[in-house]
Structure 1
Amino acid sequence: METKKDNIQASGIAYSCYATKSREGEHFVQECTFTYQIAGSLVLNDGNQTYISNAGAFRLVRRNQLLKFIKEPPENGEFRSLTIFLDQQTLKDFSLEYGINAEQKQYDQPVLDMEDHVLLHSYFQSLMTYHQTHSFDNPKLVQIKMKEAILLLLQINPELKNVLFDFTEPHKIDLENFMNKNYHFNVHLERFAYLTGRSLATFKRDFEKTFNTTPGRWLLHKRLQEAYYLLKEKGKAASDIYLELGFEDLSHFSFAFKKAFGEAPSKIMNRYSPVNTASFNSM
């Protein structure tokens, strides 16, 4: 049971605190985010790779990423983190002011682990002081601290300019590969369209040419097929997989599953569970 939830966000800076046993979900990372993991751990997954940040870790997440997350507090403690959201306007203004531009797209992975550096520890400690004294009510102070974060990142690793100041929008990419990788993310079609470099109308048109069905029907079928596999072959419970597969809630998943396969998810899982299989084989 959740005993405390505190997610305070100023303009561009967020302090998160959770005392749940675990908290999971997914989100679209629209802006570059720079985070310090104060306590607990954060597990991110982009569909191909898992990235784990434990207490004391610094990480930079590139913009325009689909990521699933699991937040785990330490034993008898709270999950705590501080995050700087480096929006495009702030970065463009910085680029113009200092004459720093991206030279080439150098990083493809969405999550970059940052070097443990005394300057970063000092910086985030100052943010905690401002948070505790409610100093983030001043937007000018927030802007100064965001600029300081950019300067520190570039001082520690100058090549990060190719991440921070890459203002290009997603280009048109292979639709089939992208959707087979990201179908389990619960995002609107407009987001899928944007990330594949298409307008919504073009996305729907290209989708039907590629898959011979509508995006909505394909997504539901793909998610339910994966659910059947996980229930039957892996012995997973419906409550453990519905979020993982992109369903809004358990009741919606159960209704859609029964409509597609004629049986509730629990019946599939129980029929093929190791205990029942062993009992059948001993007869």
Structure 2
Amino acid sequence: MPTQTLSADQRILYSCYAHTSREGEQFIAQHVFGFVFSGSQIMYVGDKSYPYQAGDFRFFRKNQLCKFVKQPPADGGEFMSLSIRLDKNTLQRMSQELNLHADEPFNGDAILTLEPNELLTGFIESLKPYLKAGQEIDPLLTELKVKEAVMILLQTNPQLKNVLFDFAEPGKIDLEAFMNKNYKYNVDISRFAYLTGRSLATFKRDFEKIYHTSPNRWLQQKRLDDAHYLIKEKGWRSSDVYMEVGFKDLSHFSFAFKKAFGIAPSRM
């Protein structure tokens, strides 16, 4: 069964995958409060991994590039999880209405594991009837449930105030260090620019000063070099390599690889 949306604006999402593992990557654009019903999941952000099992509550900070692997239970069945997206507009309204503001920068991890408690458990239980019914939640109710999730998080994890109500844009960071760590993510150049605290024009200018080539050319060559190493030295198959190094399409990867190295990846 594919992912099911429980609200029209996709702020409440129910994920359900049967009998097979799934892996991929995503950009977490908004804060997310999540719960795993069954199965397991590993999230990778930078050089850190975050494993989760059934019964785990977690909080994802916004503006993160991550990879994930979702596994169904070992004895069969489905991977099931629930995600509540804590959107910026709702948080800004709550900030004004309730006089809630960040006091200082938050320096914790990109993903936080939350200790189970009655409030968190009760909130998840309140959504189960909608999961069973398979129906879309009314927009007004969605708004109330998102606000309820925020208030419960603040009561059970007060330190999250400095995350939820920090509306600053990403600050300018070391471009070279960021790109060397994140080049395998297949996202638009504009996304890399935003996450390094730059306009697109400034990002391109700073990038060429460092690498003496354009971002697109550098990304493709960097990914192809990785693929060449994995295929030649590690024995990987081209069908397994292309997504690992940041290509979305196998045919495009094969064409680019042959153009760069003079041989198709499947013939190495």
Q: How far did 1:118 drift?
A: 2.2
Q: Number of aligned pairs? A: 265
**Which letter does structure 2 place at the counterpart of 1:118?**
E
- How far is the alpha carbon of 1:237 from its aligned partner? 2.0
1 CA distance for matches of 2:248 and 2:135? 37
- The residue that corresponds to 1:7 in the other structure is 4
1:196 and 2:193 aligned: no
1:18 counterpart = 2:6:
no
Tell me the CA shift for residue 135 of structure 1.
Answer: 6.1
Q: Which residue of 2 aligns with 1:238?
A: 238
C-alpha deviation, 1:139, in angstroms: 1.0
Contact 1:107 1:163 in 2 (8 A): no
* Whole-Å separation in 2 of the counterparts to 1:108 and 1:174: 19
Structure 1 residue 95: Cα displacement: 1.5
- Offset at residue 235 of structure 1 (A): 2.3
Which structure 2 residues correspond to residues 226-265 of structure 1 after superposition, within 5 A? 226-265=226-265
Secondary structure (helix, strand or coil) at the match of 1:81 reads: strand
Q: Give the corresponding residue for 1:56.
A: 55
Indicate conservation of the 8 Å contact 2:41/2:52, yes or no: yes
- Checking the alignment, whether the CA contact within 8 Å between 2:5 and 2:13 is kept in structure 1 is yes
**Cα 1:150–1:234 shift into 2, 3 Å:** same
Counterpart-to-counterpart distance in 1, 2:224 and 2:242: 10
What secondary structure, in the 3-state scheme, does the structure 2 residue paired with 1:242 have? Answer: helix
Letter in 1 for 2:110: P
Verify: 1:91 aligned to 2:96, yes or no. Answer: no
For the Cα contact (< 8 Å) 2:38–2:54, is it kept in 1?
yes
Aligned-partner residue type, residue 167 of structure 1: F
Paired residues of 1:136 and 1:142 also in contact (CA < 8 A): no
Alpha-carbon offset, residue 129 of structure 1: 1.3
Amino acid at match of 2:264: A
Q: Report the alpha carbon displacement of residue 134 of structure 1 after superposing the two structures with TM.
A: 5.5
**Given the alignment of the two structures, is residue 213 of structure 1 paired with residue 220 of structure 2, yes or no?**
no
Letter matched to residue 50 of structure 1: S
Give the corresponding residue for 1:66: 65
Deviation at 1:136, TM superposition (A): 4.3
Greater shift in the superposed pair: 33-42 or 19-28: 19-28
* DSSP-derived class of the 1:259 partner: helix
Q: Is it true that 1:175 corresponds to 2:178 in the alignment?
A: no
How far apart are 1:137 and its partner, in Å?
A: 3.3
The answer to whether the 8 Å contact 1:61/1:112 transfers is yes
Q: Which letter does structure 2 place at the counterpart of 1:64?
A: N
TM-fit CA distance, 1:106: 2.1
Secondary structure (helix, strand or coil) at the match of 1:5 reads coil
CA–CA distance in structure 2, aligned partners of residues 259 and 134 of structure 1: 49
Match of 1:186 in 2: 186
Report the equivalent of 2:27. 28
Unaligned runs of 5+ in 1: 269-283
- Paired residue secondary structure (2:46): coil
Which stretch of structure 1 is more off in the superposition, 156-165 or 20-29?
Answer: 20-29
The structure-2 alpha-carbon separation of the partners of 1:265 and 1:9, relative to structure 1 and needing over 3 Å to count, comes to farther
Q: Distance in 2 between matches of 1:217 and 1:118?
A: 52
Work out whether residues 44 and 68 of structure 2, in 8 Å CA contact, stay in contact via their aligned partners in 1. yes
Task: Kindly name which structure, 1 or 2, has the bigger radius of gyration based on alpha carbons.
Answer: 1
For 1:134 and 1:112, how far apart are their aligned partners in 2? 29
Displacement of 1:67 = 0.7
Distance 2:106 2:137 in 1: 36
The superposition leaves residues 104-126 of structure 1 with CA deviations (integer Å, 9 ceiling, x where unpaired) of: 11234211111111221121111
Between 1:207-216 and 1:66-75, the stretch displaced more is: 66-75
Partner of 2:40: 41
Counterpart code for 2:114: M
What displacement does 1:265 show?
2.1
Residue 137 of structure 1: SS of its match in structure 2?
A: coil
